[in-house]
A and B are shown apart, each in its own frame.
Chain A
């Protein structure tokens, strides 16, 4: 059975600038006869989401991801086409939306609960749990306008997790809050999945999408570009919309005497992918090159940076003692990372070919190739350290 069905779903917004609509503004526009500027946030989408599925929605900023959730949640109406949700829909959009600043924490629990469609009986029963998780017991009878922003978010979240809809929509909530908050949030998502609920979530945290989703929708300029298995869609997204010159810091330069003509990320079975698992391996990067003339003793190098530009690791064939006598014409060089000790995150791979004495850069591609790593353990960090424990009691 389908939980959500969309048919030729389209949504067009009229752009009216930043000012609020007024009577004078309307009159002024009538006289100027300006054609309204239109933005198609959603352009003819059709899809089915089966009951119990977890769907990830990814895409560049402004692709229409949030509009899609609003349409499913019925907070906004489609311009044409239809979307039907089978069951009760709740959305975890903005925590604490609907809090009333003059009311106390206690009163807001019931008000916000009612807004989110949580039955009063549930709120009464779970009241202590909500208060304790938010850690606001001593501030319970204080107006929420005196709360710190952390308390505000925690209270909003601890109310929101009591929602028990058939379909839950989540928009980037996982991006806020500290680690403890995120772990609790993810645990809640797992719990939802176990109970056969349908989930749709928008996220830029690709590793979370990869980890949780059964299927992923890639949206770009209001169109459903592709959908399918998380690893494949994420790979396509990284390759076509984020990386390959689209990366934030991406630069390319060099004399091109030796040119890197193609790069493929291969999983252990040899299939091309963009998503790997920490501890798994080998991660193989197959680099195709073309040397226009004979180059003696070239050096191939690589570097890894996190999605926000933090330099993680770098090395080359010279440092590793993998000496290449010469290259001429086309060929391939394979970089094998085994085991993969990077921890969960988005990464960018830089590649380079230069001369033995570093005096000539043949071809350099900085932050060019994105890939994703997901965790297989509960460890935290960027890089996995090799370690052991010892204990001694005296």
Chain B
């Protein structure tokens, strides 16, 4: 059976798992959903202070957009890692398309991201309004970037979830890699800073190589669409980053499909 029709046949299960993820995330704390706003806000504030100390003036709205988008990616990475192994009992006992689990994780994090995005919009609008600016008209194109971001995150979750079935100590490695990825991603700084550094050290190709990271492309695209006067660099590096993202998602998908048959034997 085709995987799409298989997932559609199990849409009620998918919906229930998404609800489960969201409910169990919000249920245990009094502040519930508020935490998913407060965490990136605190992070944005810390970076802001830290960067001021380093005498790097990055506007607050740029940091907000970067940190919120990074937060979605990071949560997909950490929840995605364990989304199969945490449901080992289910995988062993009941048949359903295994892809439902990573899909539910990516979707429930997306729902959370979209909700935080609403708050982020208000904050960015206020910050822009403070110096007489408005959110860019190109913001209507955001859904395209969100879809791309979602698909790339789904690829990450597919890859990590099945890798974690075979290597349960992957978590430690991922912790290190996520920190590295964070600094390679323009979350608390902007891409223009990277360009400045690249040209300052007479090595402009660095900026191109930097954009091969699909998350860097995505975050820069968010900023370009929301903030007025912030241009999206249409360079070879960006094109490379997009191609890498597509290849990665397809590779993760076929790896998952190949390995999922034996998941239940690994518990």
What 0/1 pattern do residues 142 to 168 of B give for CB contact below 8 A with A? Answer: 000000000000000000000001111
Q: How far is the CB of A160 from chain B (nearest CB, A)?
A: 11
Q: Which of B44-52, B56-64, B89-97, B208-216 contacts A (4 or more CB under 8 A)?
A: B89-97
Q: How far is the CB of B171 from chain A (nearest CB, A)?
A: 10
CB pair B265–A21 under 8 Å, yes or no, is no
For B28, the chain A residues whose CB sits under 8 A away are 102
What 0/1 pattern do residues 1 to 39 of B give for CB contact below 8 A with A? Answer: 000000000101101110110011001100000000000
Contacting residue for B168 out of A22, A107, A119, A120, CB 8 A = A22
What 0/1 pattern do residues 57 to 95 of B give for CB contact below 8 A with A? Answer: 000000000000000000000000000000001111111
Bound: A119/B15 CA distance, A: 12
> Considering only CB atoms, which chain A residue lies closest to B169 in the complex?
A22
CB pair B91–A21 under 8 Å, yes or no, is no
CB pair A116–B94 under 8 Å, yes or no, is yes
What is the total number of residues of chain B having a CB less than 8 Å from a CB of chain A?
32
CB pair A103–B265 under 8 Å, yes or no, is no
Tell me which residues from 10 to 67 in chain A have a Cβ below 8 Å from any Cβ of chain B.
13-14, 20-24, 26
- Whether A337 sits at the interface, judged by CB under 8 Å, is no
Task: Using A23-B170, A93-B93 as known contacts, say yes or no to A111 and B16 having CB atoms under 8 A apart.
Answer: yes
What 0/1 pattern do residues 335 to 350 of A give for CB contact below 8 A with B? Answer: 0000000000000000
Bound: A119/B10 CA distance, A: 10
CB pair B93–A21 under 8 Å, yes or no, is no
CB pair A20–B168 under 8 Å, yes or no, is yes
Contacting residue for B91 out of A75, A77, A111, A114, CB 8 A = A75
For A114, the chain B residues whose CB sits under 8 A away are 12-13, 15-17
What 0/1 pattern do residues 315 to 328 of A give for CB contact below 8 A with B? Answer: 00000000000000
Contacting residue for B95 out of A13, A75, A94, CB 8 A = A75
Bound: A93/B27 CA distance, A: 29
CB pair B169–A23 under 8 Å, yes or no, is yes
- Whether A98 sits at the interface, judged by CB under 8 Å, is yes
CB pair B94–A77 under 8 Å, yes or no, is no
> Considering only CB atoms, which chain A residue lies closest to B260 in the complex?
A77
What is the total number of residues of chain A having a CB less than 8 Å from a CB of chain B?
32
Bound: A13/B265 CA distance, A: 7
- Whether A186 sits at the interface, judged by CB under 8 Å, is no
CB pair A22–B167 under 8 Å, yes or no, is yes
Task: Using A21-B266, A23-B167 as known contacts, say yes or no to A100 and B20 having CB atoms under 8 A apart.
Answer: yes
> Considering only CB atoms, which chain B residue lies closest to A143 in the complex?
B27
Q: How far is the CB of B65 from chain A (nearest CB, A)?
A: 32
Q: How far is the CB of B5 from chain A (nearest CB, A)?
A: 14
- Whether A226 sits at the interface, judged by CB under 8 Å, is no
CB pair A98–B170 under 8 Å, yes or no, is no
- Whether A91 sits at the interface, judged by CB under 8 Å, is yes
> Considering only CB atoms, which chain B residue lies closest to A100 in the complex?
B20
Contacting residue for A98 out of B93, B169, B265, B266, CB 8 A = B93
CB pair A89–B95 under 8 Å, yes or no, is yes
B residues lining the A interface (CB < 8 Å): 10, 12-13, 15-17, 19-20, 23-24, 27-28, 89-96, 165-170, 173, 261-262, 264-266
28 of the cross-chain contacts (CB-CB < 8 Å) are A20-B168, A21-B165, A21-B166, A23-B167, A23-B169, A24-B169, A26-B167, A73-B95, A75-B91, A75-B92, A75-B94, A75-B264, A76-B261, A76-B262, A76-B264, A76-B265, A91-B93, A98-B94, A102-B24, A102-B28, A103-B23, A111-B17, A111-B19, A115-B13, A115-B90, A116-B94, A117-B10, A119-B12
CB-based closest 5 A-B pairs: A77-B261, A114-B16, A22-B169, A20-B168, A114-B13
**Besides A21-B168, A77-B261, 7 other CB < 8 A contacts?**
A20-B168, A22-B168, A23-B173, A76-B264, A97-B94, A100-B20, A107-B23
